[in-house]
Amino acid sequence: MTSRRVQGTTHKNTLLAWSTRSSVCAASALTSILTLLAFPPFGLWILTFLAPLPLLWAAGLTHKNRLGAAIAASLGAAPVWAWQHQWVFGVSAPGAVLMIIYLSLYAGAFVWLLSWLSSRLRTSVWLLGPVVWVGLEVLRGEVVWQGYPWLLTGYPLIESPYLSRAGAVVGIYGISFLTVALGMSALGIVTSKNRLRILAAASFFGIAITWAALSATPRVVTDGVLRVAVVQTNIPQSVKLGWPPATRMRDLDRMLELTVRACETDTPPDLVIWPETMFPGDALDANSLAEERAAALAWVTETDVAWPVLRFVITRGADGIDPPVPVSGPFEQNNRLMMPTTVASDSLLAWQERLGIPFLIGAAGIDELRFEVEEGTGSITESSKARYNSSYLINQGRVEGNRYDKIHLTPFGEVMPYISAWPWLERLVLRVGIGATDLSFNFDAGTDPLTHIVRTESGLVRVATPICFEGIMPGICRRLAYAGNERQADVLIQLTNEGWFSSFDTGREQHLQIIRWRAVELGISVVRAANTGISAVISPDGRVIARGVEAGDTRADGVLWADAPLPTGTTPFGRMGDIVGWANLAGLGALLLAGVIVGFTHRGRPQSPDTDETEEENR
């Protein structure tokens, strides 16, 4: 009889465990689907208030076998992360799989941590949930693997001019906290009893009032504009990685054509902008260019390769001192077609001097470039002290001032976080296909948050240039735009290469949505110059003033003309930084410490896992 009773109990517990895991997996999938619908391309932003609630319910449901529930939650989140990052498979299939697994683990971590903390601290999940949720967002977005803040809960609220205004004080992580806390308090009102229900109602209204007060923050006043002309290129990443000589010259000719058209308007721009690394040559600074000329480098093809007829490409001779001369195509030598590599810089500098409008160009930055030519074979070996992903300001036919070198390199696109510290390990990881395909990971990180000074008819404009991934990092953009609590940039110009997204335009829309938060946080206009789109101009309140080019928003080239308003004030976030975000991460750490301490203090004592049916609730 006893044996049968034990077997029956075991069978019942097994069925209950499977039922719980299935419920948790379904709840996680529902959270993921609601998140998906809140973001572009669907744009149902109001759903972001509801998205965390199924996982919160799942954490409250999980009292035993938390590991199984965490795995179930991770499995429920995986399909949406896979859909969101389908473009990564074209960059690195093994890397994409590992990325999806890693991102999905955060759903499981939320369920496990919240259930454990709720049990240890004997507190309802809705009270602890906001700190745990946003603490994990900060951990993912700012710390682990140098940060990846994609699909943060607060992002969709940029579509609400009123609700997003609080971001000027608390930043995007503060918006996430307000969003999650409001939703979880509402759930607490529905699910709690007696005193906890009163507490949940007080919390709900307190958060709503706080949000309203934060949204009453005065907007940054603007005075004057910077008129920009963004040259949006359309060079697929598959082409740019190899960039054959004939294609490279065709693309250079087209970029120069668009640049000339950008300048020859009734109201000329103050600045012409090219996207990240779209300069098709090797060097722009004087020292590197001198080395390139001395080595007499050339792009070479067989004679049967078709080259385009060039209309805008220019050469200034082997020494770079001759008058500009048009180049219509390659020259033939030793049964090869050849084009000096210096025509790229010659063309760009000559056209800038002729047009008289400053250019902001995304290109490689190289320190101490050297070329060694081996006698007899003629083979050339290149070496340098450091290589950067950089931006240059060109004026009066030369590079003006210092270049800006990208400070925060793209994880697994330009650097292997932690792994790059050991070259042998980096080579091993790259050999198995983790990391962007066909990239050498030879970029170094810059150290100086330099701004370019653009001279306009109305005065000097300070321009900071976050490059690609830097635009989604709040702290990096603040470092570029502010020095301490003082503004040091009047405009942010993000140079980016969106060719990595291939045909996945959703990624481009989401990247644009993220950078709009930098405008709100810092009270600054943001200009985006994006290869394959979406180029845009964003006002200091996060509103998109202009986007796309004549031929379309994405996967088309053309010119975007617009006026970027210039701010005169600062924002609390700009002056103080991301206090709320880091406070949430610290709060999560404090809760974990408290849970450990309580565990040691009450070791051996019986403890009810059901924190929603506490004695306090039933009084």
> Given this model, what pLDDT does residue 508 score?
97
For residue 365, the cross-strand partners are 388
Residue 103 has pLDDT above 80, yes or no: yes
Kindly indicate the confidence band of residue 429, based on its pLDDT and cuts at 50, 70 and 90.
confident
Q: What is the mean pLDDT of residues 242-270?
A: 96
Distances 260 to 35, 92, 223, 249, 269 between C-alpha atoms, Å: 43, 37, 29, 16, 11
Task: Answer with the residue of higher pLDDT: 548 or 458.
Answer: 548
Q: For 348-401, give the DSSP string.
A: HHHHHHHH---EEEEEEEEES-EEEEPTTT--EEEE-SEEEEEEEEEETTEE-S
In tens, the pLDDT along 503-558 reads 999 999 999 999 999 999 999 999 999 999 999 999 999 999 999 999 999 999 99
> Given this model, what pLDDT does residue 179 score?
98
| Structural tokens at position 470 | 């830097």
Please name the residues in contact with 142: beta carbons below 8 A apart, sequence gap of 6 or more: 149, 473, 475, 581, 585
Task: Answer with the residue of higher pLDDT: 616 or 192.
Answer: 192
Contact 498, 547 (CB under 8 A): no
> Given this model, what pLDDT does residue 434 score?
80
In tens, the pLDDT along 37-86 reads 999 999 999 999 999 999 999 998 877 789 999 999 999 999 999 999 99
Q: How far is 570 from 218, CA to CA, in rounded Å?
A: 10
| Structural tokens at position 302 | 């067989």
- pTM of the entire structure? 0.92
Q: For 173-237, give the DSSP string.
A: HHHHHHHHHHHHHHHHHHH--HHHHHHHHHHHHHHHHHHHHHHTSPPPPEEEEEEEEEEE----H
Kindly indicate the confidence band of residue 260, based on its pLDDT and cuts at 50, 70 and 90.
very high
- For 46, the 3-state DSSP assignment is helix
Residue 619 has pLDDT above 70, yes or no: no
Kindly indicate the confidence band of residue 308, based on its pLDDT and cuts at 50, 70 and 90.
very high
Q: What is the mean pLDDT of residues 608-613?
A: 43
In tens, the pLDDT along 314-357 reads 999 988 889 999 999 999 998 999 999 999 999 999 999 999 99
> Given this model, what pLDDT does residue 380 score?
84
Kindly indicate the confidence band of residue 456, based on its pLDDT and cuts at 50, 70 and 90.
very high
112-116, 288-292, 438-442, 461-465: which has the minimum mean pLDDT?
438-442
Residue 605 has pLDDT above 90, yes or no: no
Residue 610 has pLDDT above 50, yes or no: no
> Given this model, what pLDDT does residue 609 score?
43
Q: How far is 379 from 334, CA to CA, in rounded Å?
A: 16
| Structural tokens at position 113 | 């941590």
142-146, 442-446, 524-528: which has the minimum mean pLDDT?
442-446
Residue 589 has pLDDT above 80, yes or no: yes
Kindly indicate the confidence band of residue 604, based on its pLDDT and cuts at 50, 70 and 90.
low
> Given this model, what pLDDT does residue 37 score?
98
Please state the φ and ψ torsions of residue 538, each to the nearest 5 degrees. Answer: -120, 135
219-223, 375-379, 509-513, 540-544: which has the minimum mean pLDDT?
375-379
Kindly indicate the confidence band of residue 615, based on its pLDDT and cuts at 50, 70 and 90.
very low
Q: How far is 65 from 18, CA to CA, in rounded Å?
A: 10
Q: For 521-561, give the DSSP string.
A: HHT-EEEEEEETS--EEE-TTS-EEEE-BTTBSSS--EEEE
**Percent of the chain with pLDDT strictly greater than 90:** 79
**Element spanning 302, H or E:** strand 298-302
Contact 44, 91 (CB under 8 A): no
Contact 308, 246 (CB under 8 A): yes
Q: What is the dihedral of CA 428, 433, 434, 436, to 10 degrees?
A: 120
Q: How far is 521 from 165, CA to CA, in rounded Å?
A: 9
**Element spanning 95, H or E:** helix 93-121
Residue 614 has pLDDT above 50, yes or no: no
Q: What is the mean pLDDT of residues 249-264?
A: 97
Say what angle helices 125-138 and 93-121 make with each other, to 10 degrees: 150
> Given this model, what pLDDT does residue 612 score?
42
Q: What is the mean pLDDT of residues 373-380?
A: 76
Residue 18 has pLDDT above 70, yes or no: no
Residue type, position 504, single letter:
F
Q: How far is 42 from 45, CA to CA, in rounded Å?
A: 8
**Element spanning 508, H or E:** helix 505-522
In tens, the pLDDT along 401-427 reads 899 999 999 998 898 898 888 888 888
> Given this model, what pLDDT does residue 17 score?
58
The three-state DSSP-derived secondary structure of 340-360 is: ECCHHHHHHHHHHHHHCCCEE
Kindly indicate the confidence band of residue 603, based on its pLDDT and cuts at 50, 70 and 90.
low
Q: What is the mean pLDDT of residues 205-215?
A: 97
Q: What is the mean pLDDT of residues 425-432?
A: 83
Averaged pLDDT score across all residues of the chain? 91
Contact 222, 565 (CB under 8 A): yes
Contact 346, 324 (CB under 8 A): yes
- For 130, the 3-state DSSP assignment is helix
